[in-house]
Structure 1
Amino acid sequence: MGLVDRLKNENRELVFKELLGKKYSDLDDFDIVYSPNEEFILIDVKRLVLEHKINEAEDVLFASLEKNRSINMLFIAGEFYTMLMDLSDEELRKNNFSRGEVKEGMKDAKAMFSKS
């Protein structure tokens, strides 16, 4: 496993530990099966990030979380924030986003999920 792979795995671990808190042990412990609608949301969010529309992607994510506060939606949030954590500070800045906004977004997503 190369350095980049390790960094990405570490970012993923950090994101999911933040989102799941005490419920987190290892991602392999979860058997996530997305509904077709959840898959569309995940694809849409990832597509928007790849198109450098991070703010729009986060808006889609939070609108979806508002409607459906399932564990699957929290995993979709985890995938989104992992993608952002894998970006450099410069890449985030170019997309009108910051590392602080990533961390704040994770906290907000966790808080929304806790309300369910």
Structure 2
Amino acid sequence: MFLALILLVGSLAVLGQHVSLGVRAADEARLRTKAEEFATTKMNEVLAGIEPLQTVGEAPLQGDDGLWSYSMTVAAGPAEGLLDVSVTVLHEGLGDGTNEAFRLQQFVRDPAVLLDAEVSASSGGTL
């Protein structure tokens, strides 16, 4: 009887740890998904011209809990006329280990090059 009780208590402890691990994994997946959504949204805002195409240091991001921030870097790309745009979204937990970061990188045509080509074409110049 005593052995059965020890086995029951041990089994409950192991099951409790598994449940805790599952809850933590679900929280991490939820945060990762939110970070991906925020990064994609910010990149789309930049590509649509809603946000300027410029480097941004860490700035607050509107989130459910106010713990989200983002940064954006704009650098020369691998070819002329391309820019390397990178958006990083960060969630700072409240010391409970729920931090998450996601980085989205995309090559974008440089709007200045497109504008120069448009001006040249309208003035009768060749590309």
TM range (shorter): under 0.3
Q: Whose Rg is larger?
A: 2
Greater share of helix residues, 1 or 2?
A: 1
Structure with the bigger RCO (C-alpha within 8 Å, sep 6+) is 1
For normalisation by structure 2, the TM-score amounts to 0.25
Greater share of strand residues, 1 or 2?
A: 2
